[in-house]
Amino acid sequence: MSLPVLKATDFASDQDVRWCPGCGDYSILAQMKKVLPNVGVPREKIVFISGIGCSSRFPYYMNTYGMHSIHGRAPGFATGLKSTRPDLMVWVITGDGDSLSIGGNHFIHAIRRNLDINIVLFNNRIYGLTKGQYSPTSAEGQITKSTPMGSIDHPLSPLSIALAAEATFVARSMDAHVKHLGDMLMAASQHKGTSLVEVYQNCNVFNDGAMAYAQEKKQRPNNIIELEHGKPMIFGENRDKGIRLTGNHLEVVDTADVPADDLLIHDAHNPDPSIQMMLARMRYPVMPEPFGILRQVDGVATYNDQINDQVTTAKREKGEGDLNTLFHSGDTWNVA
């Protein structure tokens, strides 16, 4: 039976979108609506789960099933849902504050389990919903309402955390590069296992221009590198810069000064994340920042498949079971 042909507008809910005018969230929402008609999954099998934050209003704006959960706990809700309903496509929508502070443990453990879900992390390097406090990804020295003398915290890298947790799919995109963003969301949707897409998202009210070096077309070519599996790492307005691995570190070279085979070839499929981690640590202004798929490793067992295999085995060997019998089995006590 063929699925009905859907359009982006079919995924738009009847709710008024209540983000600030000019917010980068609008771009992410628009690209998600464009991607979903092409993933091959009916609307009634798609679920969006969010935590708390500006990004977390996302489920209201999608004409699918959804849940606006509690702060930082969206991966926990997603774990329960995907484990009991493995037939569903589950998306977790989160922000840098929601997932990397109060939700840090849930974020890490969902990734290490390789739960078959898609996580989209809106990174604007600020707490926007609560009106401009510094977040776990805010830059050192950044002055905010909660850091009037400048932040002294070292910012977290979502990509580095995901790679350290042995994520099987890790990518980065941005709100202003809409085609690239759509491509990353589509690739994530097709991956079996946990996929993480970090999206640089401009908060034009409380942190405007924080990532202009990557988002503005005139600055972008010299400050980011778009990764393609199997291709040499070349960037620059004139495509005259490259990345070379020298010893145990990466360096920028002029392509005219080095042999072509000196340039590092991107390998997103390498199970060893060592070089992928080095890429994740490249940061502006010292290095160009990587965009695209850093890591895509297939064939790793998923948490939801394994837990359902155990349930199937237990039923086959012990029967369906009875909850009342279970409650009254083993050690029991009568309390007078």
Q: What is the CATH number of the domain that holds 88?
A: 3.40.50.970
Q: Report yes or no on 168 lying in a domain.
A: yes
* Angle of CA points 154, 226, 229, to nearest 5°: 110
Q: Report yes or no on 271 lying in a domain.
A: no
Query: Looking at residue 2, what is its pLDDT?
Result: 65
Q: Which residue matches tokens 């776990």? A: 136
Query: Looking at residue 76, what is its pLDDT?
Result: 97
Query: Looking at residue 335, what is its pLDDT?
Result: 86
The pTM of this model reads 0.95
Q: Report yes or no on 63 lying in a domain.
A: yes
Domains in the chain, number: 1
Q: Report yes or no on 302 lying in a domain.
A: no
Q: Report yes or no on 155 lying in a domain.
A: yes
Q: Report yes or no on 60 lying in a domain.
A: yes
Q: Report yes or no on 46 lying in a domain.
A: yes
Would you put residue 253 in left (φ > 0), alpha (ψ -120 to 50) or beta? beta
Structure tokens at 194: 């946990």
Q: What is the full per-residue pLDDT of the chain (336 aa) written as tens digits? A: 566 789 999 999 999 999 999 999 999 999 999 999 999 999 999 999 999 999 999 999 999 999 999 999 999 999 999 999 999 999 999 999 999 999 999 999 999 999 999 999 999 999 999 999 999 999 999 999 999 999 999 999 999 999 999 999 999 999 999 999 999 999 999 999 999 999 999 999 999 999 999 999 999 999 999 999 999 999 999 999 999 999 999 999 999 999 999 999 999 999 999 999 999 999 999 999 999 999 999 999 999 999 999 999 999 998 988 888 888 888 878 887
Helices 74-84 + 104-113 axis angle, to 10: 30
Query: Looking at residue 3, what is its pLDDT?
Result: 65
Query: Looking at residue 330, what is its pLDDT?
Result: 83
Q: Report yes or no on 15 lying in a domain.
A: yes
Structure tokens at 145: 């309402």
Coil, helix or strand at residue 182: helix
Question: Cα(23)–Cα(285) distance, rounded to whole angstroms?
Answer: 25
Question: Cα(208)–Cα(218) distance, rounded to whole angstroms?
Answer: 17
DSSP codes of every residue in 309-326: HHHHHHHHHH-S--HHHH
- Please name which of 272, 260, 269 lies closest in space to residue 232, comparing C-alpha atoms: 260
DSSP codes of every residue in 64-130: SEEEE--TT-HHHHHHHHHHH-TTSEEEEEEEHHIIIIITHHHHHHHHHHT-S-EEEEEE-SSBTTT
- Parent domain of 150: 8-210
